[in-house]
Amino acid sequence: MAVEKVAVYAGTFDPITFGHLDVIERASKVFDKIVVAVTTNPSKKPLFSLEERVRLVRECAKEKPFVEVDSFRGLLVDYLRKRKARIILRGMREISDFEREFQHASMNRKLCKEADTFFVMTSEKYYYISSSLVREIASLGGSVGCFVPEAVEKALRKKLAKK
């Protein structure tokens, strides 16, 4: 019996974008299951709560049977151990991502020698998209439908209308 190949794609996903979904879809050609692990980051102040982000990721991935959505707080390597996983999936958009991602991969490997990081380059049609730019455009009244799924665009409009 073959062992299922699982990768953990951790992030804040505030909100999830077509770039994130592209990384998931492309990684599914290598891995049997992608666990999208929504987390908190002490250096970020998210627009959406953890629960709202999990709900949005689930909504956007509902047609992808190879995706499992979960959440965690704390160190990614601790989450990997808890899940008995060893592959961290990371998307890279541009060369400036490399330094930060290389540092994170190295630190994760130091904290957990079994952890390996698998990098996927985002498709060129999405490389310029970031969650922070999507939030900024939406907060200024711009349309973000070409950057995020419809459910996310609706959630952004609703959330920003309350502010």
Q: Which residues participate in catalysis according to the annotation?
A: 20, 44, 93, 131
The three state secondary structure string of the chain is: CCCCCEEEEEECCCCCCHHHHHHHHHHCCCCCEEEEEEECCCCCCCCCCHHHHHHHHHHHHCCCCCEEEEEECCCHHHHHHHHCCCEEEEEECCHHHHHHHHHHHHHHHHHCCCCEEEEEECCCCCCCCCHHHHHHHHHCCCCCCCCCCHHHHHHHHHHHHCC
The total of other beta-carbon atoms located within 10 Å of residue 114's CB is 12
